[in-house]
Amino acid sequence: MPERTVAIASRTGLHARPAKLFVQAAQAQGVPVRIRVGDGRAVPATSMLAVLALGAGHGAEVVLEAEGPGADAALDVLAGLLSRDLDAEEPSDA
């Protein structure tokens, strides 16, 4: 199963707006994606409550894992998202 390790770049960690953007992006990938902090239990990346419950703060390393066709591309997209400071970016009107 492909996986990526990435440090959370958002100032507030994976909370509020950054978590919402991450969960929405995970839902759009079309493959099952899970996220965990360190050696902790992996949770569905599409669940806002599960992602918030991880308590991943700024600089925390998380592991993303996905399976199925397109898993590597999905992980690249999601890892790229988490490596940006989503708190500093302007919200889009999309």
Active site residues: 15
Residue 70 sits at the vertex; the CA angle it makes with 29 and 19, to the nearest 5 degrees, is 30
| Terminal-residue alpha carbon distance, the chain | 32
> Do 52 and 15 meet the contact criterion of CB atoms below 8 Å apart?
yes
